[in-house]
Structure 1
Amino acid sequence: MNHHQNIQQFKADFYKALAHPMRIRILEALCEGNKNVNELQSILGSEGSAVSQQLSVLRNKNVVYGIKDGTSVIYSLRDPLIKDLLAVTKRIFDNHLVDAISLLEDIRKET
């Protein structure tokens, strides 16, 4: 595999790791600071097994890492740039929303 293919493969795997609403919520929560499973459960309003399952996907793909703290594990973003990535994604969503709204307004004017 050449250098470009390696980067493209990394990107594809990385986005695959993010491709789940609960995993995105976990990452958004971790953008605010490090959290343990219990804290993530209460933020997400979801039971532990579901949160743990999604955390293990993020851990296996090296998106987050956990450090043992007594009996619990504290999770952190592996790269703070993930915060920027989520912010940019939100801006893309907002742009789509603005486009959709202006399209709707144009349609309404015509009718």
Structure 2
Amino acid sequence: MSVPLYQAKAELFRLLGHPVRIRVLELLQEGPKPVRDLLAEIEVEPTGLSQHLAVLRRSELVTAHREGSSVVYALSGGDVAELLRAARQLLTAKLSAKLSDQRELLSELLQAEAGRE
């Protein structure tokens, strides 16, 4: 029995619902990185990072291969980077609307304050 699409999407977003995982994916957009480089960029214990990387690897959002004594991680494809770009665009639009509302409110407050003088 197959999983409905909406349920599969919900599972994907649950998987992405941790800041460390998002940060790992953002860093990997720059190109493949060994674990030591990821650790240097992310404030997390090595065991915690390892667990998050395992989740991302099992979900096939990242790939891993060994280079000498290091394990190097990379995004599994451009779709992951595209998803992160879409998230940035949504957040930018949301923040822009919020800032516009705040500017409007500030303008009204300043006008009211000026009228009191």
Smaller-chain TM-score range? 0.7 to 0.9
Distance 1:10 1:2 in 2: 10
**Unmatched 5+ stretches in structure 1:** none
**Unmatched 5+ stretches in structure 2:** 110-117
Q: TM-score, normalised by structure 1?
A: 0.86
Aligned CA distance change for structure 1 residues 2 and 73 (closer, same or farther; 3 Å): closer
**Residue 74 in structure 1 maps to residue 94 in structure 2:** no
**Aligned positions, number:** 109
Distance 1:99 1:90 in 2: 14
Distance 1:102 1:78 in 2: 38
**Residue 55 in structure 1 maps to residue 87 in structure 2:** no
2:44 match: 46
SS of the aligned residue for 1:76 comes to: strand
Q: Give the greater-gyration-radius structure (CA).
A: 2
Identical pairs, percent: 33
Deviation at 1:92, TM superposition (A): 0.8
Deviation at 1:46, TM superposition (A): 3.1
Deviations 1:69-111 (A, max 9, x none): 2222111111221111111111111111111111111212333
Q: Name which of 21, 24, 46 aligns with 1:23.
A: 21
2:113 match: none
Distance 2:40 2:100 in 1: 38
Task: Give every structure 1 segment of 4 or more consecutive aligned residues whose post-TM-superposition deviation is greater than 4 Å.
Answer: none
